Structure 1
Amino acid sequence: MSGGWAGSDRVRRLPPGWKKIRARVLERDPVCKICGVRPSSHCDHIQAKTDDHAIDRLQGVCAECHARKSSAEGNEAKAANPPPGRRRPSEQHPGLL
């Protein structure tokens, strides 16, 4: 593995035989399942954030569509779980006391 995957915990979560699973998906889906135009180069989980690596839950996609889909999924997750607000109420300015 190289690039953004190097040292990632995502690599540790991949099942034994991942390279063969990925190759089967890319062979089954030679053209991107999202845009239907570019060749598939990435193996994508159809449902985001799952560790289910069953071949019917994976799809071949092009790099551009994979990046766009992953970004949208990350933005949706962030919107669903916004960071906490300030922990204490703001104080009145000392000059106004």
Structure 2
Amino acid sequence: MAWSSSNRDARFNPGWERTRKRILERDHYRCQWIVTDWHTGAKHICGYSANEVDHKVRAKNGEPDDDSPSNLWALCPYHHSQKTAQESAEQRRMNRERRKEEQWYSHPAFQ
């Protein structure tokens, strides 16, 4: 997607910068992504330097995002891009299924 045509800023509430700063400070500017140690299986936070704030659960169907502190976390650029890629792949899969269903029911036999 070209960022020049993106409307992502329209999703942010007017106080987003203040909220973002609060979350980064709460999380001590450290990535909160949960990682699993390959050798021991122990789980811990990433802990790398974080400068991005992300919604843990993104709003569905055009609803506004939940900007409550419990739904926000600081992420490093790597984990933020990983999460965004996962969400994008899931959205593309859902769009594909929806288009396939719409195409099926647009067949003349169903008209």
Structures share a fold, TM > 0.5?
yes
Paired residue type of 1:28: R
Gaps of 5+ in 1: 90-97
Q: Which residue of 1 aligns with 2:54?
A: 44
How many Å separate the matches in 1 of 2:20 and 2:54?
Answer: 9
Query: As a proportion of its length, which structure holds more strand?
Result: 2
Matched, 1:26 2:24: yes
Q: 1:82 aligns to what SS in structure 2?
A: helix
Offset of residue 7 of structure 1? 5.9
Q: Counterparts in 2 of 1:13-92, with a 5 A limit? A: 13-29=11-27, 30-34=29-33, 35-49=45-59, 51-82=65-96, 84-85=99-100
How many Å separate the matches in 2 of 1:24 and 1:37?
Answer: 17
How many Å separate the matches in 1 of 2:47 and 2:30?
Answer: 6
Which one has a bigger Cα radius of gyration? 1
How many Å separate the matches in 2 of 1:77 and 1:12?
Answer: 19
TM-score, length basis structure 2 = 0.64
Gaps of 5+ in 2: 34-44
Q: Deviations over 1:37-79 (max 9, x none)?
A: 3111100000024611112210000011000100011111222
TM-score, length basis structure 1 = 0.72
Q: 2:53 aligns to what SS in structure 1?
A: strand
The CA RMSD over aligned residues, in Å, is: 2.4
Mark the CA change 1:61 to 1:17 in structure 2 (over 3 Å): closer, same or farther: same
Identity of aligned residues (%): 28
How many Å separate the matches in 1 of 2:79 and 2:7?
Answer: 23
Q: 1:31 aligns to what SS in structure 2?
A: coil
